[in-house]
Amino acid sequence: MTRSEQAERIWFNPSKFWGATKDMPPEQVDRLWESVQQLAAARNLDALRRYDFICVGNAYLRPMDRH
């Protein structure tokens, strides 16, 4: 892992998460959240970037509501 990968923060946007999961049953929401947590623990940044409610990097330079 390079130093820049270690420095990249993983940001979670709760309102986007709840918006994305509003029509899901609770069990599916739980599975999704567990998957996101596992990806974050493994530092799989490319996979995390696929989620609209996750931002990787400096959130001050790249706000959560931009893509």
Query: What's the domain range around 52?
Result: 3-56
Question: For residue 63, is it within any domain?
Answer: no
Question: For residue 67, is it within any domain?
Answer: no
Taking the whole predicted model, whether its pTM rises above 0.85 is answered as no
For residue 6, pLDDT beyond 70: no
- Tally of domains within the chain: 1
Question: For residue 27, is it within any domain?
Answer: yes
In this predicted model, what pLDDT tens digit does every residue of 41-56 receive, in sequence order? 999 999 999 999 999 9
Question: For residue 19, is it within any domain?
Answer: yes
The more confidently predicted of residues 33 and 57 is 33
Question: For residue 28, is it within any domain?
Answer: yes
How would you classify residue 43: left for phi > 0, otherwise alpha for psi between -120 and 50, otherwise beta? left
